[in-house]
Structure 1
Amino acid sequence: MTTSDDGATRKFDASRAGEYAVQSRIALAGYDACHELAACLLAASLGSGGRADILVAGAGGTAQEIVTAGRLEAGWHFTAVDPSRPMLDLAAAAVEQAGLAKRTTSVLGHVHDLPADWRFDAATLVGVLHHLPGDEAKQAILAALAARLKPGAPLILAGNRHSYAGKPLFLAAWGERWRMHGSDGSEIEARLGRILQGADPPQSDEDVARLLAGAGFERPDLFFSSLFWGGWFTRRRI
């Protein structure tokens, strides 16, 4: 993330980090499938069985990008970047449990804090963009990623899009999903309130494509969708 996302970073304090693994799977129906498809797309684009350096921006929490892709490809090394210490600590624990600690470098900070001459074979940005307020902050992190990718390198981008209030049926279905998992009315209201707090998703798939183009990426392909959530595959322009 960039320096303009300090409010987003503060949202992921120790209390929120502690419930992240469970709540993220309720909020995103298909959480594991999205990460599995992302790993498969990277392997298909980079070629399986080789060595690659993967930048994982906003890696904190479950580190699911690393855990899933690391099990698929034994030759990949991951650089996990996150500005939230509690979230990065959770990610480190997940990586350790998966036996991937020796293949993962953790960096507390932002993408633009990485050395300017580092170049990666691929990158992921999952569950981050909709927490950044305004186009400027979104464009900044995408540009920082593009600057640290090799020409033609793939990027997996995933996160919420659309105005939450603009899709009331999706918002209501979100609440029903928590009810399906045992929450009562007050709990659902609180959950939705926390999601809506400070969130600023891109307004459409076209908005996502515009932001990516402005940062130096090719037009993205949508590979996953679940209510507000979308997952896209793109490449840094050569």
Structure 2
Amino acid sequence: MTEELAFNSKHTIAYEANARNSIPTYDMLFSMIQSYFRVQLGEKEASLLVVGAGGGNELSAWGPSNPKWAFTGVDPSKDMLQMAMHKSVQLGLEDRVKLIQGTVSDIPLTDSKFDAASCILVLHFIKDVQQKLELLRTIKDKLKPGAPFVLVTAYGDPAEAELQDRINVWKSFFFDVGYDASKLDEMGKMIMNISFIPEQQIEQLLQEAGFTNSTRFYSTGLFAGWICHAE
């Protein structure tokens, strides 16, 4: 492993550890999504769009046990994409993986569209609601009619006490794994830098973007997941 890749590996490991602290059911989440896609896609060959593919967790979770699935992953981070490619090579998936540095809009136009897509822990990093909608619309436009889509993002109304109660629970996740209690209040303030919007607004955005039959299937702490289909 090169020095640069070793540095990136440490960064990715730290990111993944933080994600597992934030979401204690992090690994089970990927298993649940895999089950959903398997039910929807059956035994056919399928192309999956992975939005926010840096780090390669979707590839690691779904690639080895689904040999008929091919993946196109997009992520703006070059460092994270390097780790995603490293994982795909380690797992022997490189022939089924295409990685693009950028956004969904940077995917080359082709005659074929994707059979399924995921957008996991990405939407809450977009502050502007209209830009959130534009991302969801762009994803929908890349999908075949009826294709399954999974969205996982932070949710909640910043003006409501309910969100603060969940933030207090979220802070306890970190306390339980050994974080210094004196740092937890600062972490609680920092988490508000991501974009929280109410669950109802997320479902409205999915509908406006062209997705149907939206159902919340997952919730842990500050994050929730929805399954739906492209019109």
TM-score, normalization: structure 1? Answer: 0.86
Q: Is 2:164 aligned against 1:171? A: no
For 2:211, what is the secondary structure of its paired residue? coil
Q: Is 2:70 aligned against 1:74? A: no
Q: How does 1:5-154 map to 2 (within 5 A)?
A: 17=12, 19-47=14-42, 49-61=43-55, 63-117=56-110, 118-154=112-148
Q: Is 2:156 aligned against 1:162? A: yes
| Matched residue count | 221
8 Å CA contact 2:155–2:223 kept in 1: the answer is yes
| Separation (CA, whole Å) in 2 of partners of 1:18 and 1:192 | 22
Unaligned ranges ≥5, structure 1: 1-12
Higher radius of gyration, 1 or 2: 2
Identical-pair percentage: 29
8 Å CA contact 1:131–1:201 kept in 2: the answer is no
| Separation (CA, whole Å) in 2 of partners of 1:200 and 1:147 | 24
Q: Give the letter for the 2:101 counterpart.
A: L
8 Å CA contact 1:39–1:65 kept in 2: the answer is no
Question: CA offset at residue 22 of structure 1?
Answer: 0.5
Q: Name 2:204's counterpart in structure 1.
A: 210
8 Å CA contact 2:72–2:100 kept in 1: the answer is yes
**Residues 93/195 of structure 1: CA separation in 2 closer, same or farther (3 Å cut):** farther
TM-score, normalization: structure 2? Answer: 0.88
| Separation (CA, whole Å) in 2 of partners of 1:119 and 1:155 | 13
Q: Deviations over 1:157-200 (max 9, x none)?
A: 11111135632221111111101001002443444444322x11
For 2:28, what is the secondary structure of its paired residue? helix
8 Å CA contact 1:54–1:120 kept in 2: the answer is yes
| Separation (CA, whole Å) in 1 of partners of 2:59 and 2:37 | 12
| Separation (CA, whole Å) in 2 of partners of 1:113 and 1:186 | 43
**Residues 189/86 of structure 1: CA separation in 2 closer, same or farther (3 Å cut):** farther
For 1:218, what is the secondary structure of its paired residue? strand
Q: Name 2:180's counterpart in structure 1.
A: 184
RMSD, matched Cα: 2.0
| Separation (CA, whole Å) in 1 of partners of 2:59 and 2:216 | 21
Unaligned ranges ≥5, structure 2: 1-7
For 1:220, what is the secondary structure of its paired residue? strand
Question: CA offset at residue 202 of structure 1?
Answer: 2.5
8 Å CA contact 1:143–1:215 kept in 2: the answer is yes
Q: Give the letter for the 2:121 counterpart.
A: G
For 1:72, what is the secondary structure of its paired residue? coil
